[in-house]
Structure 1
Amino acid sequence: MTFKALQLKIRRWRVANLSETNTVLMLSIFVGSIAAMAAIVLKNMVYFTHQSLQRAFPETDFNYLYLAFPVIGILLTVLIIRYFIKDDLSHGVSKVLYAISRKNGKLKLHHTYSSVITSTLTVGFGGSVGLEAPICLTGSAIGSQLGGFFHLKNKSVILLTACGSTGAIAAIFNAPIAAIIFAIEVLMLDLTSQSLLPLLISAVTGTLLSYFFMGKSVMFNAIHSVPDFEMMNLPFYALLGLFAGLLSAYFMRTTTFIEHRFSMVKKKWIKTAIAGVVLSALIFMFPSFFGEGYDSIADILVGRSDSLFYNSPLYLFKHNEYTYLVFIIALLLFKPFATAFTGVAGGVGGVFAPLLFIGGIAGFFIVSVFNVFFGMELSVINFTLAGMAGLMGSVMKAPLTAIFLIAEVSRGYQLFIPLIITTVISYIVFYPFEKYSIYTKSLALQGDLITHDKNKHALSKINVMSMIENDFKTIQPDACLKDVTLLIENSNRNVFPVVDQQKLFFGVVLLDDIRKVIFHPEKLSDSIKDYIYKPEITINPNESMLSVVKKFKKSGYYNMPVIDATGKYYGFISRANVYTQYRDIVEEISED
């Protein structure tokens, strides 16, 4: 029996025995399990790669191996992508959002494994990015493929795509609640009873597998307890929120600027060489940039902040209070560069871990300033955790995800108040700088962003080109009125586009404008040029449907021509057809 025959047989059995809802519920278990196993495998592969490489590090104050390993990892990643994957693997979360918005949740098969392999090489060899975005893409691709295998409806495929991401995030952090909120807040999934149950199942499945294979505490397991916060310290959490908001803007602008500048470099090997060398130099100076950076945060939380200086040429400066703080500031300033250069060089990873690293260092910096220079006793653990939530919540535009994630990974549920204060203030400070998150900015600029607004969501799913009608009879610009009368006999339209042989649009001839004239034989030889009307508003083929609807509303037109920037004519779009399609999509996405 061939694979196609087996697939068809399974589909028929599913249709005969299971409803769509029950199928999704059952598949959410498998999606959560497979995505969680992928996350566990990825986490362990990176861990063992790190361990293997660290054995080569001599126990000296600094070493030159940091100059080699990141370049080797990125070079291997670039070669695998170029010769085997042959697709872009960057910006994993943005790819998931685009698939949900434009492709009904459909992701390519290679995404079920390609990001695991390439991110292992990138991060395992020291690339200064995180594993969360690659594993989010991997889990989503697993859900997408299973939904496609069973030939489910588009809405169910999208839900399973989100389930895969939820299971993976839950497993990698042991944080089921944060994983569910991530799907709702970041992936823009609507919160309904039909969507919540599969997400819960995938999150719990992923978390249980993570418990089984990696223990109950995946991150920061050295923290025995998180201190209670003190009410008198709340103003300092507000100050941390302000600082985190400014750092968020700095991170976003820095990474975006570097990506934009390197996008102008056409030769891939030049980008890889330049960015790889700069990345290696940064990691050589600041070894805590090597990999995800979670080990450095864990050391800070247990009072071993000196580890930030290990293997650094600046090791001897750790004994001076002033140079110590300058070093911490340098970490905050240069970490965004390390993350951006990892990406533009060709590495595969995300910003999840870098944001938590910078946030943790920011919180530690605030504590150090007040404890060292003002003799205070602020909690290093509490402020480090709050800083992590502040950076993540603002840059990702996901405050709830950040708050619950930090509370779950640290088991510091008593910190909800300071976490909320820090994250909210950081978000408010960051918002004037950037309207969109780091995941959605590029999609928003291209008009491909899905939102929780059902109206905008429905319009975003309508493609302008798919709505074009071509049954309008066209006429040459040098024609006469008699030619128009011949078209009227064979047309049920009252609009006749004037188009030349090169498809250039000159305007339209309206039946109402020539109705009285065509019944006068002596006028039939007149040129149509005097009767051509040039519409003030037209539609561009690449325009968003939201913009098209606004134009219909503003102009009052029933039909509008589609013309590109060169003046080429494509056809007309009818207001009635757009609204009909819009209502159908709203009805589909509103089903519960």
Structure 2
Amino acid sequence: MSTTSHLRKNHKKITLQKLAITSVIIGFLCAFLAVSLKHLTEHYEYILLHKATANRFLFLIFPIFGLSVIYFLRYYLFKKKENKGIKEIFESTGSRTKKLPVYKIPSHFFNGLLTVVFGGSTGIEVSTVVASAAIGSVAQQKENVFKRHKTELICAGIAAGITALFSSPIAGILFAFEVISKKVNRTFAVTTGLAVAIAYAFILILDEKPLFEVHITAWHLHAFPYFLLLGLLAGVNSVYLTRSVIYIKNRFAKIGNHSTKIIIGSIIISASLLVFPQLYGEGYHAMKILFVNSGSAVVTTSFLFTMIGILFLKPIITSITLASGGDGGVFAPSMFIGAFLGLLMATVLNTFFDAGVIPLNFMIIGMAAMLSASIHAPFTALFLICGLINDYTLFFPILIVCLVSKTTAKFIYPYTVYSYQPKPVN
């Protein structure tokens, strides 16, 4: 072996070792960030929601307060720059010069937390993803030998964050691949694999419980055609969500005064919360109640008004939350819509067609189908939802329905909120 070949081999070996050590650190930091944000959000959202439920006047106060504090932090602490969500990651991985600066870590952490706990109708998932990606990006900037591996280290951070948030290492890896990287090489496998392993070990040590504690008994073959119909409906609803976010963001972008954005957004959010408190924050509190009571749901005027109203308003309120300065994305809203859509469909089938389907199954499958269609990532949605409930009984129907919903959504509208690029103005 020549001296040059030997040096190259040693250089690659040393680089891989450094990447491995860095990935371990990234995995720990991202897991710590994700778990901290999750527990802080759950704790304060629970407190503030209950206070607002007891004193409904607070539904008028919380949204404008939360959005105002976010604007204050952005203006005085975070370089007066708005958070763009996952598009920031695409801009970074698609450019040699653009980076995710270190301030993006606290920016997304605190803005995501404040958005949700004060009633903004979105979730912390995208805030976690971008903050975790920023950790990977900052690590990449520390070593010259990592210049070629920016995407891999960003993906390592994202995968670790998703793993810790949803207790699903496979979902973390698949999201990094399906949505961000779209390619796998040896460096991706090493960095992402190590980061995810550390993140998963971290949540095992902490004994993190599944977000939703449900018990799936079985699913029946006679329900399969209804599952496919649910996939089609989820695909259509996901397009409604995507188009709502794009349209409302574009409309709000034309408002020059940020105070006006906050006031308009807060008024609409507050009015919606007064009618449908289920729209508060991530909505996981409402979903947990639905899981418990799904078997006893019956079609009444009140039931239909609530379900249809929520399915219609959730995409609009999510879009307004984001357009008026809130931080977050479509992860939690997609799962929320999917759960309500699944329950509505199952209840109607049982009431009017004597279908004998299990509403809980439709809620779980609806969550996965909506998420798959909204982010065009069926395998991520499959393992993420199974990880959320820590049950793989519905693995096969979820897989098929996720593929159906994604195909339907992509056929109707080829973009997600992440991939859409506005046409340049001539």
Deviations 1:299-345 (Å, cap 9, x if unpaired)? Answer: 22222699xxxxxxxxxxx9971331221011100001110111111
- Indicate whether 1:20 and 2:15 are aligned: yes
Is 1:322 matched up with 2:301? Answer: yes
SS in 2 for 1:241: helix
Secondary structure in 2 matching 1:102: coil
2:287 to 292, 297, 311: 297
Q: Note the alpha carbon deviations across 1:444-478, whole angstroms, 9 max, x for none.
A: x57xxxxxxxxxxxxxxxxxxxxxxxxxxxxxxxx
Tell me the distance in 2 between the aligned counterparts of 1:322 and 1:151.
Answer: 64
**CA distance in structure 2 between the partners assigned to 1:105 and 1:177 by the alignment:** 29
Q: Counterparts of 1:55 and 1:27 in 2: how far apart (Å)?
A: 42
Q: Which amino acid aligns with 2:352?
A: F
User: The residue matched to 2:94 in structure 1 has which SS?
Assistant: helix
Alignment CA distance shift 1:253-1:57 (3 Å): closer
Paired residue secondary structure (2:255):
coil
Amino acid at match of 1:202: A
Map of 1:235 onto structure 2 = 225
Is residue 89 of structure 2 the alignment partner of residue 96 of structure 1?
A: yes
Which residue of the partner structure matches residue 202 of structure 2? 209
- Higher strand proportion (structure 1 or 2): 1
Structure 1 residue 256: Cα displacement: 1.3
Are 2:347 and 1:368 equivalent residues in the alignment? Answer: yes
Q: 1:16 to 1:187 in 2, by over 3 A?
A: closer
Alpha-carbon contact 1:140-1:164 (below 8 Å) kept = yes
Supply the AA of the counterpart residue of 1:298: K
Amino acid at match of 2:38: K
User: CA contact under 8 A between 1:91 and 1:133: conserved in structure 2?
Assistant: no
- The residue aligned with 1:435 is 414
What do you get for the CA RMSD once the two structures are aligned?
2.3
Quote the Cα distance in structure 2 between the aligned partners of 1:88 and 1:426. 35
Matched, 1:357 2:350: no
Counterparts in 2 of 1:550-565, with a 5 A limit? none
- Whether the 8 Å contact between 1:49 and 1:124 is mirrored in structure 2 is yes
Please tell me the residue identity of whatever aligns with 2:254. M
Q: Which amino acid aligns with 1:146?
A: A
Aligned equivalent of 2:211? 219
Write the distance in 2 (CA, Å) between the matches of 1:252 and 1:17. Answer: 43
Q: Does the CA-based 8 Å contact 1:245-1:428 persist in structure 2?
A: yes
Indicate the larger mover: 38-47 or 356-365: 38-47
Question: 1:330 and 1:438, CA in 2 relative to 1: closer, same or farther beyond 3 A?
Answer: same
CA 254–40 in structure 1, closer or farther in 2 if over 3 Å, else same? same
1:115-134 deviations in whole A, cap 9, x for unaligned? 11111111111111111111
Instruction: Find the aligned partners of 1:211 and 1:295 in 2 and give their Cα distance.
Output: 24
Listed as ranges, the matches of 1:248-397 within 5 Å are: 248-303=238-293, 321-397=300-376
Distance (whole Å) between structure 2 residues aligned to residue 58 and residue 170 of structure 1: 33
Q: How big is the shift at 1:188?
A: 2.4
Work out whether 1:144 is the aligned partner of 2:137.
yes
Displacement of 1:196: 1.2
Cα distance in 2 between the residues matched to 1:251 and 1:297: 18
Counterpart of 1:6 in structure 2 is none
Offset, 1:159 = 0.9
SS at match of 2:144: coil
Residues 58, 244 of structure 1: CA spacing in aligned structure 2 closer, same or farther, 3 A cutoff? closer
CA contact (8 A) 1:91 1:349 kept: no
Q: Which amino acid aligns with 1:159?
A: E
Code of the residue aligned with 1:359 in structure 2: it is: G
In structure 2, give the amino acid aligned to 1:381: L
AA matched with 2:288: A
Is the 8 Å Cα contact of residues 228 and 414 (structure 1) preserved in structure 2?
A: yes
Q: What's the secondary structure of 1:441's corresponding residue? A: coil
TM-score (structure 1 length as normaliser): 0.67
CA apart distance, 1:419? 0.8
User: Do structure 1's residue 49 and structure 2's residue 49 form an aligned pair?
Assistant: no
**In the alignment, structure 1 residue 35 sits paired with structure 2 residue 30:** yes
Aligned to 1:123: 116
Q: CA deviation at 1:442?
A: 2.1
1:428-577 → structure 2 map (5 Å cutoff): 428-442=407-421
Q: Which letter does structure 2 place at the counterpart of 1:67?
A: L
Q: CA 1:268–1:374 in structure 2 vs 1: closer, same or farther (change >3 Å)?
A: same
Residues 124 and 103 (structure 1), Cα distance of their counterparts in 2 relative to 1, 3 Å cut: farther
Identity %: 27
The answer to whether the aligner puts 1:112 opposite 2:112 as a matched pair is: no
Give yes or no for the alignment of 1:198 onto 2:191.
Answer: yes
Moved more, 318-327 or 123-132: 318-327
CA distance in 1 between counterparts of 2:175 and 2:208 reads: 20
Is 2:158 aligned against 1:165?
A: yes
**Counterparts of 1:58 and 1:133, CA distance in 2:** 27
- Give, in whole Å, the separation in 2 of the partners of 1:123 and 1:259: 18
Amino acid at match of 2:211: M
Instruction: Judge conservation of contact 1:57–1:63 (CA < 8 Å) in 2.
Output: yes
Shift of 1:369: 0.6
TM-score (norm 2): 0.92
Per the TM alignment, residue 65 of structure 1 is displaced from its structure 2 partner at its CA by 1.5
Q: Distance in 2 between matches of 1:47 and 1:153?
A: 36
How many equivalent residue pairs?
Answer: 417
Report the Cα offset of residue 189 of structure 1: 4.1
Partners of 1:355 and 1:388 within 8 A in 2: yes
In structure 2, do the counterparts of structure 1 residues 218 and 70 end up closer, same or farther at CA, with 3 Å as the change threshold? farther
The Cα shift of 1:433 comes to 2.5
Q: What residue number does 1:519 align with?
A: none
- What residue is the counterpart of 1:311 in the other structure? none
Gap regions ≥5 residues in structure 1: 1-14, 307-317, 447-541, 543-564, 566-592
Contact 2:152 2:187 in 1 (8 A): no
Aligned residues of 2:151 and 2:181 also touching (Cα < 8 A): no
Q: How many angstroms apart in 2 are the aligned matches of 1:65 and 1:35?
A: 34
Look up the match of 1:185. 178
Give, as a single letter, the amino acid of the residue that structure 2 aligns with 1:97.
Answer: F
C-alpha displacement of 1:200: 1.5
User: Following the alignment from structure 1 to structure 2, what is the Cα–Cα distance between the partners of residues 347 and 232?
Assistant: 43
Secondary structure of 1:136's counterpart equals helix
For 2:180 and 2:82, how far apart are their aligned partners in 1? 18
Amino acid at match of 2:252: F
CA apart distance, 1:104: 6.0
Partner Cα distance (2:252, 2:52) in 1: 32
Greater C-alpha radius of gyration: 1
Given that 2:136 and 2:155 are in contact with CA atoms closer than 8 Å, whether structure 1 keeps it comes out as yes
Larger mean CA deviation between 409-418 and 32-41 belongs to 409-418
- Are residues 1:174 and 2:164 paired? no
Q: Describe the shift of the 1:103–1:278 C-alpha distance in structure 2 as closer, same or farther (beyond 3 A).
A: farther
Measured in 2, the distance between the counterparts of 1:118 and 1:170 equals 21
